[in-house]
Amino acid sequence: MKHMTVLNLLIGGFFIALLASCGSVSDPPGGSVNNPSPTTPAIVASERNNSAPSGTTGRKIVPGSTPHGDYADNNQDTDLWSLRGWPLPVLTSGINYLSDPERQVLLHLNMVRADPGRYAKEFIEPRLKFFDAKLYREPGGPDNGGGLETQEGTTAVAEAVHALASTAPLGPLSPSHGMSLAAADHAADQSATGQTGHSGSDASSVDIRVERYGVWIHTLGENIVYGPGIGREIVVNLLIDDAVPDRGHRKNILNPDFAVVGVAIATHPKYGHICVIDFAGGFKEN
């Protein structure tokens, strides 16, 4: 039996926590079987739609700001977020089938896994000085100066810094073309339909989508983000995981059982962008 780890989404005018779910799936056909009696695939999900007008909580862009979808790694106004000193070619593996923002997602995923403490110090801790209570406003940042209203404020940021500082380095995530195609299928689907969630318009789940392109090994997980189109912001906000009690997005990124990843970013008619990140313990391409 193979295990589906936490499935997660962030959604909103910029980032709003929506969904945390978990469950298990059986070994795919031809996979490495750990249990001679595979169980019926099952994914158990619970949702919190924080953008709904029902009083649920979440994070939202303060009116007047607009999502920034163009790729930019460092903040030109503050000289923050520099990549100096990081082994970029090694961490991105020279992949040419990903777009620039998708490669940046891969880069930042592998940066934080390679040196969690350094990543926290350079890319997360500096954010603390840009808070006014629970409003995050970075000069020249991707919110264009309007600000990002968070639920936890500096608490979640400081907790992320502490958690990463105590995390041992992990092996890199190797990019998978097949898993990226699976992620791209879901991103394109929701780009066309405007829907959100882990289920496709054809009722497909992440395991079904991934198995169209090969066989996943041991464990499988998925993070989905709606809003930003900048790789760094996608990964940093997943690591902070504001308003997500179990920090499921961060757990997926730092899961030592994951070894391969697929990444896809597409436009979204309601939230600007969708980024799908699929993780697995291994993957055999068709």
- Residue labelled with tokens 């993070």: 223
Give pLDDT, residue 142: 64
Q: How far apart are CA 209 and CA 129, in angstroms?
A: 41
More confident residue, 234 or 84: 234
Answer yes or no: is pLDDT of 19 > 80. Answer: no
Give pLDDT, residue 27: 40
Distances (CA, A) of 136 to 78, 79, 227, 242, 255: 15, 18, 16, 12, 28
Q: Taking all residues of the chain, what is their mean pLDDT, rounded to a whole number?
A: 77
Q: How far apart are CA 229 and CA 101, in angstroms?
A: 7
Phi and psi at residue 275, in whole multiples of 5°? -125, 125
Record the pTM: 0.78
Give me 157's structure tokens: 């940021």
Domains delineated in the chain:
2-285 (3.40.33.10)
- Rounded to an integer, what is the distance from CA 274 to the centroid of its chain? 10
Answer yes or no: is pLDDT of 193 > 70. Answer: yes
Render 94-107 in DSSP notation, one character per residue: T--SS-HHHHHHHH
